[in-house]
Amino acid sequence: MSVLFMFPGQGSQRAGMLHALPVDPAVVQTLAEARDALGTDPLTLDTAEALRSTVAVQLCLLIAGVAVARTLVRQDAAPDMVAGLSIGAWPAAVVAGVLEFSDALRLVRLRGQLMEDAYPSGYGMAVTAGLTEPEVAAIVAQVNSAATPAYVANLNAERQIVVAGNDAALTQVMARAQAAGASTATRLCMAVPSHCPLLDAQAAELAAAAAKVTAHTPQLTYVSSSRARALFRANLIVEDLAWNMARPVLWHDTMRHALERGARMAVEVPGGGTLARLAHGVFADDAVLDAGGGLDAVRVRIQRQRRVDGL
């Protein structure tokens, strides 16, 4: 049996998330490393006011994901495979051994700053449920223009599609989606238009910075959510990380690819339930776990299954 750790993207943040991390030596070490790399106390990043910043949000998700994953590894409940949605790809790469945590912190801080500087206001993302990707793409094609840019950004599930664009475009997309029969069409807690060509220039700048860090061959299977397939070369993974802000997220296909590669248990790390709910459409219900519900239960389930499998 292979265990997949899934790391969520922006929108899963919550105030106090770093303060709520488990009491464990791995967490203490992770916070200390973050403090050294960033030159500031990471525990100042998770207030409600601080989380208005894209930079703070992305750093919190990176730190929390690495901290909880390291805690499970220390407790002999390590993953065999990792995947992350958007910013979640960065803690996935750290856990896979591709990037040093310190390098990831500095690059993610740059990532968030580039995105925030490019689109300080007036842009974001909206999620539709109940319509297929072709149906949403047709709506986007009707709305997209120089004045109202709109792009299909995330294919989270067969009938959960995210659109990126400016406020006017998203208002039109949501109204048209509801008129076309969408069960929901709502704005996400996102201040930038991720996963579309609006961030091409910023992705290129991040890629140039990322190319200067030392990357390592992954020690676990790393599945790209931009390509929905496993990547095994360090330079390709770093390129994938840098460019994922401007590329659509193929999350549903990523989960199916992980299943095809042998993943039989999917654990959302650090937790929150968003990815766990999406995984239920691919994995057996009793094989999907949310680390936010308690690490002891996750550890016991992983260890028990590995004993059954003789691993």
- As annotated, the active-site residues are 86, 195
- Cα distances (Å, whole numbers) of residue 65 to 3, 30, 212, 257: 16, 10, 24, 22
**Of 136, 124, 147, the residue nearest 199 (C-alpha):** 124
Q: Peptide bond preceding 270: is omega within 30 degrees of 0, i.e. cis?
A: yes
Size of the chain, expressed as the number of residues it contains: 311
CA angle 81, 17, 108 (to 5 degrees): 60
